[in-house]
Amino acid sequence: MSLRMTPPLPLVFLLMIVGASRTEWSVKYNQQKICALNGSTVFMNGTFTHPEGLTVTETFWFIDPVKGVEPTDLSKDPVYSGRVKFLTDDQKHFSLKLSDVMKKDEHRFYFRIITNEEKERWAGEPGVQLRVTELRVKAPEEVTEGQTADLTCKTTCSLTDPFIWYKNGHPLTTKTIKNNQLHLQTVSSEDAGSYSCAVGGSQHLRSTAHSLRVRYPPKSVSVSISPSGEIVEGSSVTLTCSSDGNPPVKIYTWFKEGGTSPVGSGQNYSIISITADHTGLYYCEAQNDHGALNGTVMVTLKRQNLFAVWIAVGVGSFVLLLITVLICIFRMKKTHETNHNKSKQDENIYTTVTHSTSRPVQAADSGADDAQYATIQKRNDQVTSNDQQGDPQYASVTFRHRTANTESPTQNVEDPSVIYSTVRKD
């Protein structure tokens, strides 16, 4: 293998002055070091010149030069044959396209030019050094809320494309990303999740996910009563406290309102036989390594509720009774008024009661004060059966003393001194 090196700079300078149009061998690579992402496609580009009068017959890329041995065309190497593509154009641009880059591709790649003249062959030094990297998230496993956290997308060589971060599969745009770092200024429990990174242009080639846990004090505490609903005196009641927090809450302490020392500990607090003394407000304090938080619950007895029901029933009954009584009174009054009106209608008013003398009076049966009426005239013509049942009301009854009859001496039994002028019955 004849590798002719570029002539020293002063000579080139001299040649440029003396033989102005004479070109020499040269191979320039755009980049001498390339960092590629595992699985990506990479280009190695450059330009070349060759002395005039030569015709380029063949160009190819090779790796691992061995002194004195003609290098092998990479496209003929079974490891690369399917993954490499050589491109050249008339402006002496050349390029190697290498697909599905893998770690074992970490070599120095050289461009080889072969001409029609056996001795005029060229290998472009220093070649292109390829480095292959994977992406790996380096971050703490766990952060305490309020602290800062930096997540780094680690590579083994310097990638030029910008980094992209994902949380639970979604791109993160709101967070501070500087170079390959994601900066979490004040970590909150919401920052917990699965983080991965990628670089622009190769979003499909993401790092493996990294789980970030956030430690935080209890944020919510809830207390439940079992059995739920009304508590009957003498029954047993269990209060259960639950809370979030990371690490999970393991210490629960129970307090009763008004008391300074705890009444119990553990997630459950039981009252075996509840009495009125047990009622009141209970506090459950949930605590982990990062803080504590209280939850409250009110314990009341059913009896108090029943008392309220009794009051309600009592008041209700009273109101009902009152209404009934009022209705009764009203109705009675109404009936009375109707009867009164009726009796007024059927009232018989007698204007004159004449004590007749026409009827012969038997001496034998003459009672002492037997008054006998010959006619009773009614002023009111609408006489009904009512006047037999109802009490007749007499406006004026005049008893005229019968004149003593001399011809029937037996008749004279009445005391002539009694004179009825008016008998009124109301």
Ligand X SMILES: *[C@@H]1O[C@H](CO)[C@@H](O)[C@H](O)[C@H]1NC(C)=O
Tell me how far, at minimum, the Cβ of 289 lies from ligand X, in Å: 52
Task: Say whether 17 sits in a helix, a strand or coil.
Answer: helix
Measure the CA–CA gap between 93 and 98, rounded to whole angstroms. 16
Contact status, residue 53 vs residue 44, Cβ threshold 8 Å: no
Task: Say whether 311 sits in a helix, a strand or coil.
Answer: helix
* Number of residues near ligand X (by CB under 6 A): 5
Nearer to ligand X, 93 or 333 (CB): 93
Tell me how far, at minimum, the Cβ of 43 lies from ligand X, in Å: 4
Tell me how far, at minimum, the Cβ of 30 lies from ligand X, in Å: 5
Question: Per CB under 6 A, does 87 bind ligand X?
Answer: yes
Nearer to ligand X, 26 or 45 (CB): 45
Q: How far apart are the first and last CA of the chain?
A: 161
Question: Per CB under 6 A, does 30 bind ligand X?
Answer: yes
**Which run of H or of E encompasses 182?**
strand 181-184
Measure the CA–CA gap between 333 and 327, rounded to whole angstroms. 10
Nearer to ligand X, 44 or 231 (CB): 44
Nearer to ligand X, 27 or 241 (CB): 27
Strand partners, 46: 29, 94
Nearer to ligand X, 96 or 223 (CB): 96
Question: Per CB under 6 A, does 45 bind ligand X?
Answer: yes
Q: Is the dihedral of CA 133, 135, 136, 137 positive or negative?
A: positive
Question: Per CB under 6 A, does 43 bind ligand X?
Answer: yes
Token look-up 């001795």 returns 119
Tell me how far, at minimum, the Cβ of 93 lies from ligand X, in Å: 7
Nearer to ligand X, 45 or 72 (CB): 45
Question: Per CB under 6 A, does 405 bind ligand X?
Answer: no
- Select the residue interacting with ligand X from 26, 95, 222, 242 (CB under 6 A): 95
Tell me how far, at minimum, the Cβ of 67 lies from ligand X, in Å: 30
Measure the CA–CA gap between 66 and 1, rounded to whole angstroms. 8
Measure the CA–CA gap between 379 and 112, rounded to whole angstroms. 157
Near ligand X in 279-308, by CB under 6 A: none
Tell me how far, at minimum, the Cβ of 64 lies from ligand X, in Å: 23
Measure the CA–CA gap between 112 and 117, rounded to whole angstroms. 14
Measure the CA–CA gap between 72 and 78, rounded to whole angstroms. 11
Q: Report the interface residues with ligand X, using CB under 6 A.
A: 30, 43, 45, 87, 95
